[in-house]
């Protein structure tokens, strides 16, 4: 008997490029889950059009009053019972009460190498104006703070002298489309272990590497803890 497929609900406010990439990865079974719903706070969001085209049901919730909006959203989530909530360019801050109801079940992606330039929607512009030489993006669990939850994966881009803020955004968005589906895949597969602020990836590659070392009679490598985190294959 096939395992029951897990369910993901995506929250988005913008154009929905990350949402579309995630939905396509789910349809291809790279992410072994169904996108059950798209929730948006904007009727004009491009993500809604993408959802319809991909056969995902979109729901728009007026977020002018956060308490009322979260109450409506919570009722919907209680019906859908998602295994994971994915924030894909959702431009609202969720209340601590909402987050605590879904502890370690909400993911977010932020366009900086957290904790740098956190808590802002202008992280790329701030990095550019600050003159940093490297920036990037971060996938993390959502906690009661803003952009402060445990980090799953980060990816970096160099900032060249002739780069503009727009060009940096293009570089970062390309990386987002790679690392966000990867992080979602690992969470859905149960290959994430959280220890305080540390997130460890429990991957088959680690097991295979361990078995190879044992067969070669090199247990001393394991004893010296020289097996570093598994290689990430996007």
Binning the chain into helix, strand and coil, the percentages to the nearest 5 are 40, 20, 40
Catalytic residue of the set 110, 140, 173, 177 = 110
- The Cα-based distances of 29 to 6, 19, 32, 34, 202 in angstroms read 12, 15, 5, 9, 20
Sequence-distant contacts of 149-152: CB under 8 A, at least 24 apart: 149/108, 150/194, 150/196, 150/197, 150/198, 150/199, 151/114, 151/197, 151/199, 152/107, 152/183, 152/186, 152/187, 152/192, 152/199
Task: Clarify whether 110 is annotated catalytic.
Answer: yes
- The Cα-based distances of 72 to 65, 79, 96, 104, 220 in angstroms read 11, 11, 16, 21, 56
8 A C-beta contact, residue 169 and residue 135? no
Listed in sequence order, the residues at least 6 apart from 124 whose beta carbon sits closer than 8 Å to its beta carbon are 111, 112, 135, 165, 168, 169, 172
Catalytic residues: 110
């Amino acid at each position: 008997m096939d395992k029951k497929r897990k369910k993901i609900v995506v929250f988005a406010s913008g154009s929905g490029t990350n949402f579309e990439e995630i939905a396509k990865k789910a349809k291809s079974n790279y992410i072994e889950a169904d996108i059950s719903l798209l929730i948006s706070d904007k009727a004009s969001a491009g993500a809604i059009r993408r959802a319809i085209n991909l056969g995902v049901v979109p729901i728009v919730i007026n977020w002018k009053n956060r308490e009322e909006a979260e109450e409506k959203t919570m009722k919907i989530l209680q019906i859908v019972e998602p295994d994971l909530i994915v924030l894909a360019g959702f431009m609202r801050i969720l209340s601590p009460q909402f987050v605590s109801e879904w502890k370690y079940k909400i993911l977010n992606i932020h366009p900086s190498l957290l904790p740098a330039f956190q808590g802002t929607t202008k992280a790329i512009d701030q990095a550019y104006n600050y003159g940093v030489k490297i920036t990037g993006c971060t996938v993390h669990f959502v906690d009661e703070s803003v952009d402060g939850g445990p980090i799953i994966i980060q990816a970096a881009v160099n900032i060249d002298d002739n780069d503009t803020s727009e060009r940096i955004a293009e570089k970062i968005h390309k990386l987002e489309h790679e690392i966000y589906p990867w992080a979602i895949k690992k969470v859905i597969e149960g290959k994430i272990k959280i220890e305080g602020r540390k997130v460890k990836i429990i991957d088959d590659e680690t097991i295979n590497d361990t078995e190879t070392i044992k067969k070669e009679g090199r247990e001393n490598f394991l004893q010296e803890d020289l097996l570093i985190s598994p290689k990430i294959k996007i």
